Amino acid sequence: MDIQAQTLFRVIILLSAICSLAWAFLAYPQRIAPRASWRYAGSYALMMLGLILTAARQAEPSYLYWFTADILLLTGYLLLRWGTLQLFHLDSGIKLDVLVLLCFAGLMLLVPPSAASSLYLGSLFSIAAAWLFWRLAQANFEGLSKSMSRWRAWLLVSPILLASLSFVVRLGVILWLGQDGKRFVSLDTAEAVPILWLYLVQTLVISILTVANAITRLVTKIRYLADRDLLTGLWNRRSCAGKHERLHQAWEKGETPVYSLILMDLDHFKQVNDTYGHLAGDEALRQTALLLQRECRRDDVLCRFGGEEFLLLLPNTDARQVRELAETLRQALMQNPLRWKDQQIPLSGSFGCATVRGGLMPTDMLETADRALYLAKDAGRNCIGPESSRPIEAGG
């Protein structure tokens, strides 16, 4: 075996082992994306074993050093994609990849695995690897494009695309050179040194990319937890305040002709907690959130304003439309009581509406809606309060 090729081979094996241990450490005890991390750890472990078996190949037939080694490497590539699907919570297409891998395994078994059949086996391996890396690039792009622009996502997945392309080039060399291509298929010759350098760089870059993906996913989760209400999954008050400010600025610039908001309070919520327990109260809030979401339009913003209060920001909605929507929401609550332990708990809400007009700031609109909500409660609840400029009386 060529000395430089042997050294590079050992470095790639060592790098795979380090990556496997690092991902296992992230999975346990760090518990960072554990399911995805275990799959990444398994991926690099399989690739390490496949490389070790490949390094031990001899000219004579051997299912262990030829067939098993190739399948371990390809399965490792497959697990990379599986880990990425889990990391970004993407719809799994893993069954297709498994089916393709089994087909290639069957084709590999058609000939005795040895140096004599290395061109055939190398061609099949190159096609399968190119396919798996292409699928890996697709999964990474789909996951990354959720949190960044498409061109940045393509830029980040370009190393994986190059890995796929390198196997296509390898296949082309094999088909072009015929028997002379054995020098490039075998990884223990001097001619294979450039390919091994390419594999080493690709392993490093793809390892860095997978770590970056895990960090991206972790940051996205932190942002989600910072911006969302944990019980209902709606936007929280802090994030909704920012969205309200941006919507108001868009109105001031003339980017949206008008907008309105609805402040809703779930009626008699304390009685639900006192009578049925706090778990029933939590379920009432979750069901209310779902009912409100069902009636919201695509651009509407719904948040849990605090306690049993919900706030809806409604772009391109005038004073008539906002009251019509509030009435729709009121009816939806009445028609969908909470089913809790073989009991039906009636739900209803009181509503306050406000529509933007000259001189109003976001805080003024909230005060207007809160004043209307107070009037709805004072009128007996389960209704829509009128907009009023009168201040709320003390004790309200």
The CATH number given to whatever domain includes residue 14 is 1.20.1070
| 124 and 14, same domain (yes or no) | yes
One domain for residues 210 and 281: no
Does residue 222 sit in the same domain as residue 241? Answer: no
Residue 393 placed within a domain: no
Which has more confidence, 300 or 209? 300
What's the number of domains the chain is made of? 2
Split at pLDDT 50, 70, 90, the class of 395 is very low
Mean pLDDT of 56-80: 93
Domain assignment present for 396 = no
Q: Does 41 fall in a domain?
A: yes
Task: Find the domain containing 191 and state its range.
Answer: 3-227
Q: pLDDT value at position 394?
A: 37
Residue 392 domain-assigned? no
Lowest-pLDDT choice from 218-227, 280-289, 363-372: 218-227
Percent of the chain with pLDDT over 70: 95
pLDDT band at 396 (very low <50, low <70, confident <90, very high): very low
pLDDT in tens, 243-270: 999 999 999 999 989 999 999 999 999 9
Residue 232 inside a domain? The answer is: no
Mean pLDDT of 80-85: 94
Structure confidence at residue 1 (pLDDT): 60
Asked if residue 208 and residue 144 are part of one domain, the reply reads: yes
Q: Mean of the pLDDT values across residues 26-39?
A: 89
Residue where a domain stops, chosen among 181, 202, 227: 227
In this predicted structure, what is the pLDDT of residue 233?
Answer: 93
Lowest mean pLDDT among 124-133, 202-211, 214-223, 350-359: 214-223
Please tell me the predicted confidence (pLDDT) of residue 195.
Answer: 79
Whether 55 is in a domain gets the answer: yes
Q: 212 or 189: which carries more pLDDT confidence?
A: 212
* In a shared domain, residues 199 and 320: no
Residues 310-324 pLDDT 10s: 999 999 999 999 999
The residue out of 178, 194, 227 marking a domain boundary is: 227
The region of weakest confidence among 32-36, 274-278, 303-307 is 32-36
Is 358 within the bounds of a domain? Answer: yes
Q: What is the pLDDT of residue 388?
A: 59
pLDDT of amino acid 44: 95
Q: Do residues 94 and 171 share a domain?
A: yes
What is this structure's pTM?
0.70
pLDDT for 374 equals 94
Q: Which of 208, 227, 246 is the last residue of a domain?
A: 227
pLDDT at 391: 44
Q: Are residues 310 and 195 part of one domain? A: no
- Look at residue 368 in the predicted model and tell me its pLDDT: 94
**Which CATH number covers residue 370?**
3.30.70.270
User: Both 194 and 247 in a single domain?
Assistant: no
Is pLDDT above 60 for 344?
yes
- pLDDT(181) > 90: no
Would 394 be classed as within a structural domain?
no
* pLDDT computed for residue 392 by the predictor: 41
Residue 365's pLDDT band (boundaries 50, 70, 90)? very high
Residue 159 CB: number of other CB atoms within 10 A?
Answer: 19
- Whether residue 110 sits in one domain with residue 67: yes
222 and 242 co-located in one domain: no
Same-domain status, 222 and 328: no
pLDDT at 184: 63
Mean pLDDT confidence for 385-391: 65
What is the residue-averaged pLDDT of the chain? 90
Tell me, yes or no, whether 162 and 248 share the same domain.
Answer: no
